[in-house]
Amino acid sequence: MTELREQLEKAIADTPILLFTKGNKMFPRCGFSAAVIDVFNQMGVPFETIDIFEDPDIRPTLVSITDWPTTPQIFIGGEFIGGGDIVREMFAAGELQPVVEKALAAAQ
């Protein structure tokens, strides 16, 4: 499990915008995952997804990192932002854009 944890932590640190979802960018397999993918598509920013169904150990490992029981889970600039609800609330309140811009700038 620790090797997977290290891989996930590295992906989180190295990817400015990273979404753990059910399904992936092209084929989300859950409404909430699709909704949050749509937010980042609307913003037109580069982002990556990790499909928790790819490996059954991903989900428990992720939960041990964030202590957040549900999917999707969103990381921006290596920081856990929250689930789909929080990202949608931040997007609606205009708070997501500056966080995204800061993370993308830092990755330059």
Closer residue to another protein, CB minimum distance, 50 or 81: 81
| Residues of the shown chain interacting with another protein in the complex, contacts defined by CB under 8 A | 30-32, 63, 67-70, 80-86, 89-90
Closer residue to another protein, CB minimum distance, 41 or 70: 70
Spatial distance between the Cα atoms of 52 and 40, rounded to a whole number of angstroms:
19
Radius of gyration of the chain (CA): 13
Closer residue to another protein, CB minimum distance, 30 or 65: 30
- For the bound state, the minimum distance from the C-beta of residue 108 to another protein, rounded and expressed in Å, comes to 27
- For the bound state, the minimum distance from the C-beta of residue 30 to another protein, rounded and expressed in Å, comes to 8
Q: What is the 3-state secondary structure (H, E, C) of 44-96?
A: CCCCEEEEHHHCCCHHHHHHHHHCCCCCCEEEECCEEEECHHHHHHHHHCCCH
- For the bound state, the minimum distance from the C-beta of residue 69 to another protein, rounded and expressed in Å, comes to 5
